[in-house]
Amino acid sequence: MTETLFLTSGELAGLATPAEYVEAVREGYRQQGPAEPRTRLVSEDPAGMLTGYLAILPETGAMGGYTYAGGFERGDVHFVLPLFDARSGDPLALLDGASMNPFKTGATGAVGVDALAREDADTLAIIGSGAQARGQLAATMTVREFETVNVYSPTKEHREAFASEANGQYDASVGAVASSDAAVEGADVVITATNADEPVFDGDLLEPGAHVTAMGRYDPEKRELDATTVERATYVVDLRARAAQDAGSFLKAVEEGVVGEDHLHGDLGEVLAGDVPGRESDDEITVFDSGGTAIETVAAAHMLYEKATGEGLGEYVDLAPGSEALTGR
């Protein structure tokens, strides 16, 4: 039997700071280990989605994946994350990935901001006000010293509650604004964290030198960014192999003839490793378009696993290796 640590969502909540998530995710993408685009199975009756993806981080020595089921009869979502040793193949841990989700996703967005936004960026726009938007803000505040944060979401009560909560947490002045136009105009960094089917702002409003991090990508029919934004920008994705799979904003811009497939500048790992340049001028517009990969998931999970073992958290369960179970020994 192989002892494997089981960690609950409650044990993982608050275990790491946003900055620790950012550092783990940055290192994971820099390694450029093998990673597969996500696989999604869709059920129509009952309606739901089963999604999974995999990655190996060779220098960290960890590998694993993320499987989650959303919708179906309960209309909810559950996240399960197996973590393995990349050298021995032994299981290290099983994690309930619910509480870590906004933080590892937020960390990915923040790594994109840190790699591509201007160093002097001090005005941030956030479009969205849910858990993912909160995760984006928490992580992004660790990589730039923003003085002003403007948040917009369609429901007035939601954006005002977001702003009120954030004002009590950060030194920046956080305010709710009445439109996406008001948020984007004058912003150095724009973050979108929505499930929108159509673009959530007008790309013509982006100031020279602005950076956009779009985190709502998961389906080729979904797009947060218009063709103008894609056309104007140095366009970077989370994983090159996913661009043709579900980068709806990019695919639509190609379909409209605004850009060609060669407009894809590179992926985040290539930028971090120095294989392709990041921002090259102060007036350049940059985009990081991400829908999530197993890279940030495995990187964050391994960081949490190490912190949990150091603090004696979790319970061990026995998993049978095939050499025993398949032979009956």
What is the spatial distance between Cα 178 and Cα 160, in angstroms, rounded to a whole number?
Answer: 10
pLDDT tens-digit series, residues 279-302: 999 999 999 999 889 999 999 999
Per domain, the residue ranges of the chain are: 2-101+294-325, 118-289
What separation in angstroms does the CA of 64 have from each of 33, 92, 95, 122, 226? 12, 10, 11, 37, 34
* Mean pLDDT (whole number) for 32-43: 88
Cβ-contact 106, 216 below 8 angstroms: no
The confidence band for 328, taking pLDDT boundaries of 50, 70 and 90, is low
The SS3 call for residue 235 is strand
The string of pLDDT tens digits covering residues 52-69 is 999 999 999 999 998 989
CB distance 116 to 278 below 8 Å:
yes
Q: Which residue has the higher pLDDT, 324 or 132?
A: 132
Average pLDDT along the chain? 93
Task: Tell me what percent of the residues of the chain surpass a pLDDT of 90.
Answer: 81
Nearest C-alpha neighbor of 55 from the set 16, 28, 91: 28
Q: What letter does residue 257 receive in the DSSP assignment?
A: T
pLDDT at 4 over 70: yes
CA distances (Å), origin 111, targets 22, 64, 201: 6, 21, 22
Rounded Cα distance, 155 and 321, in Å: 51
Q: What is the pLDDT of residue 216?
A: 74
Take residue 219 and report the two structure tokens written for it: 């389906």
Residue 72: pLDDT above 70?
yes
Distance, in Å, from the CA atom of 326 to the CA atom of 302, rounded to the nearest integer, reads: 29
b/e sequence 222-261, b meaning 16+ C-beta within 10 Å: bbbbbbbbbebbbbbbbbbebbeebbbbbbbbbeeeebee
Q: pTM of the entire structure? A: 0.94
DSSP letters, 160-191, are: HHHHHHHHTT-SSEEEE-SSHHHHHTT-SEEE
Topology classification of domain 2-101+294-325: ornithine cyclodeaminase, domain 1 (3.30.1780)
Same fold, 2-101+294-325 and 118-289: no
Report helix angle 101-116 to 131-140, nearest 10. 50
How confident is residue 329, by pLDDT bands cut at 50, 70 and 90?
Answer: low
pLDDT tier at 256, thresholds 50, 70, 90: very high
pLDDT over 80 (residue 220): no
Has residue 161 got a pLDDT over 90?
Answer: yes
CATH of domain 118-289: 3.40.50.720
pLDDT digits (tens, 9 = 90+) for 100-126: 999 999 999 999 999 999 999 999 999
> Could you tell me the two tokens for 298?
């495995």
* pLDDT interval class at 322 (50, 70, 90): confident
Q: Is the pLDDT of residue 74 over 90?
A: no
